[in-house]
Amino acid sequence: MTPADIEAQVEAVLEANRAVSTTGPVIAPGPRQGTFGDLWLPLALQYARTTSTRADGRAVLASVVVEEAALGDWSAIERWLDVATTLDLEGFYVVVSRRTP
């Protein structure tokens, strides 16, 4: 994805928030990740960064959408936390995709 693509998607999320007059935090869009170290990680972080810079001072929650199996790799989670905690965010919105039997 190009930076312009990310900015357009973030702007669509911000516009949706404005349209319904929300006052709480903005939840940044983000891709579904298989692990905390897969190829989607840089894109997920860029969505959070872009939303943070374009939210006009509103609190931003970064989306963390991961497969259930990702929670079993603590080393990858630690590396992710080292980067994710440097972002200027209010917090994280975590969604875990669970496996069905």
Which pTM was predicted? Answer: 0.88
User: How far, in Å, are 24, 38, 77, 83, 89 from residue 8 at the CA level?
Assistant: 21, 24, 29, 24, 20
The two three-digit tokens of residue 79, written as one number: 């590396």
Q: What is the pLDDT of residues 41-90, one digit of tens each?
A: 999 999 999 999 999 999 999 999 999 999 999 999 999 999 999 999 99
Q: What is the pLDDT of residues 3-46, one digit of tens each?
A: 999 999 999 999 999 999 998 999 999 999 999 999 999 999 99
Number of H helices, E strands in the chain: 3, 4
The two three-digit tokens of residue 30, written as one number: 């983000």
